[in-house]
Amino acid sequence: MSKEYSTTNKLLKTSTRSPLLKSVEMIAAPNKPRNTLDSRRDEQSVFNMVNSIMTLAMLNCDVLHIHASYSAHVKVFQVRVNPANTNYEFQSVLINELIYLDEPKAFEQLQELEDALIELVADAKDLAMEAV
């Protein structure tokens, strides 16, 4: 039996697990995923915002090429935007954004990105209308 001292309530606690077992559990346990979102509701709001950006990309492919991708192992959502007439040998990137979805400010970052995309889409549609 190992004994642990708790500094919060100044009591001595007794643990039935051996120190060796504790170290084996620490090694065998997979890395805890970073999850700093406050609640399930916050997580759902982030997912809804990602879906909104994806929808924006699909609906406006005629005026902008909005490339959106998700890397599950690091919970990263990446958005890259090119003009619709981009020569992909010599790209001109309008936006290149990486957002970690498990960070506390992810929702705010996604909102800012969506606002920037909406503004870019509006400008691109205005240019397309002038060209006609």
Residue 25 counted as domain residue? no
Which of the four pLDDT bands, split at 50, 70 and 90, describes residue 131?
confident
* Closest listed residue to residue 94, CA positions, set 117, 127, 126, 112: 117
Mean pLDDT in residue range 12-36: 48
- What does the pLDDT read at residue 33? 52
Residue 30 counted as domain residue? no
Residue 58 counted as domain residue? yes
Residue 13 has pLDDT above 70, yes or no: no
**Upper half-sphere CA count for residue 70 (Cβ side, 13 Å):** 10
Residue 17 counted as domain residue? no
Range of the domain at 57: 40-131
- The number of domains in the chain is 1
Residue 23 has pLDDT above 50, yes or no: no
Residue 13 counted as domain residue? no
Contact 37, 43 (CB under 8 A): yes
Residue 124 counted as domain residue? yes
Mean pLDDT in residue range 45-64: 96
Taking the model in full, what pTM does it have? 0.69
Contact 95, 68 (CB under 8 A): no
Percentage of the chain with pLDDT > 90? 57
